[in-house]
Amino acid sequence: MSNSNSKSLRDALAADYQGLAKRLTRCLGSADAAHETLHETFLKVDRVADAVDIRSPLDYLFRIALNVAKDRNKRDRHMLTASDVAAIMDVVDERPDPAMAAESRLEIAEFQKAVGELPQRRREVFIAAHIEQIPHRDIAARFGINVRTVEFDIQHAMEYLSGRLGRQVVRRYGPRPRPKRVE
């Protein structure tokens, strides 16, 4: 008596396909999803063992179909939607192009050349403060000068470098610079 459950379930599915489709459509909210689920259910029917006691084939089929729909739902949640793919494809490549890389190398070379033109102590104070991120108090101790002189050297170095490189100094902290007198 092999495959008797599979055969009786296939026969029940074929006999009441439209009824099952209507019930599934109400549960799933889509006739297309209901039909796709019933097709997958038909494939699962072959795996039902004969040892299982099936009293109501239509209810059993409906339960299999609901389980198939739940599995499809879980699987579909992990898939990307069209809008997700579009968003991924719309990511801007922020890497510099070769021209920007070359321009950046030239700017760095100009900056290094301008820093090299500073007087020695002013250059070393500027590097200690802005490159090495050493506190002004420690820089003053290193060079045997006071903190005000460190700030003075940094300010003058910034003014020189900004003028040399054609940039504007942006003050992030400290007092605002005094406006220059026009005579």
Task: Round the average pLDDT of the chain to a whole number and report it.
Answer: 84
Single-letter amino acid, residue 122:
R
Instruction: Return the structure tokens found at 80.
Output: 């990307």
Domain boundaries, the chain: 4-88, 98-165
Tell me the pTM: 0.44
Rounded CA-CA distance 151/127 in Å is 13
Percent of the chain with pLDDT over 70: 90
What's the pLDDT tens digit per position in 52-99?
778 888 888 889 899 998 888 888 777 777 777 777 777 777 787 888
Contacts of 111 (CB under 8 A, 6+ apart): 161, 165
Tokens coding 133: 């991120």
Residue 11 has pLDDT above 60, yes or no: yes
How many angstroms separate the Cα of 71 from the Cα of each of 40, 42, 51?
Answer: 11, 15, 24
Domain at 98-165: CATH architecture:
Orthogonal Bundle (1.10)
Amino acid at 180: K
